[in-house]
Amino acid sequence: MPLDKKQTHSGARDSPPQSEESESGWSGDDDEFDCYESVDDRPQQVDDRLFIGSMAAEHNLEGMRAAGITHVLQVAEGLSPSHASEGLSYRSVQVADLPGEDLVAHFGRCFEFIAEAHGGGGGVLVHCVAGVSRSATVCMGWLMWRHKVSADDAFRRVHRVRPWVAPNPGFREQLERFGRLGCDLSRWTAWRHVWREREEPLTLLLRDLEEEGRELERERER
């Protein structure tokens, strides 16, 4: 089904509301990592018929079937379907887990796939490699776009079911910017350019410091 880049929903606002509760950070909880191994091969539900997981969850055909998953969205480089022959539908989004990677630019394809699955009564697993950054960002983006919640609220919803999620700094800023744009994909502009502009002054400063250090070393050797 075609996806309207600015879909309207009953009760939706022009921009997501700000959370009344402040979030101290978007990092996974260190004390929750002890449960990681015991649950990481199982899809974890973040919304109606929407699940998050790692590569191990996608390998677990029995677990996906038990959750009612019919569609799998792979958000990482180099992943291939494990169960395409079992009747599952797959979509692959080739994206690296790097701050300068424009993940929101892929939201249209991701959301279209999720909407198509839901339209047919199916469930969707969104996974990357570890189920920490890329898949979490897509799930958070869906919650923001579909339910018109803030980035902080979307993080809390995903964090509640998967406490070790931690989108990288670039993805976090993209989600916040996405929220400021009213979750309107048609208003999104290239992130890579924005991130490079932010990085260049720091890069130049580091180069200057390195050169100063080399000059001091040469003076000591004279």
- Which one, of 107, 117, 119, 3, lies nearest residue 64 by Cα? 117
Beta-strand relationship, 50-53 and 44-47: antiparallel
Give a yes or no: residue 215 inside a domain. Answer: yes
Q: Where are the alpha helices (DSSP H) in 8-53?
A: 36-39
**pLDDT for the residue 18:** 37
75 Rama sector, left if φ>0, alpha if ψ -120 to 50, beta otherwise: beta
Q: How far apart are CA 181 and CA 132, in angstroms?
A: 25
Rounded mean pLDDT for each run of 10 residues along the chain, 222 residues in total: 43 34 48 51 97 96 97 95 93 94 96 98 97 98 98 98 95 96 91 65 58 67 68
User: Is 51 domain-assigned?
Assistant: yes
Q: Residues 155, 52: one domain?
A: yes
Range of the domain at 207: 190-222
Residue 216 CB-density burial (10 A; 0-12 exposed, 13-18 middle, 19+ buried): exposed
Residue 139 annotated among the catalytic residues of the structure: no
Distance CA 110, CA 187 (A): 17
Say if residue 73 is in the same domain as residue 103. yes
CATH code for the domain of 169: 3.90.190.10
Catalytic residue among 110, 128, 139, 183: 128
Q: Answer yes or no: do 135 and 219 share one domain.
A: no
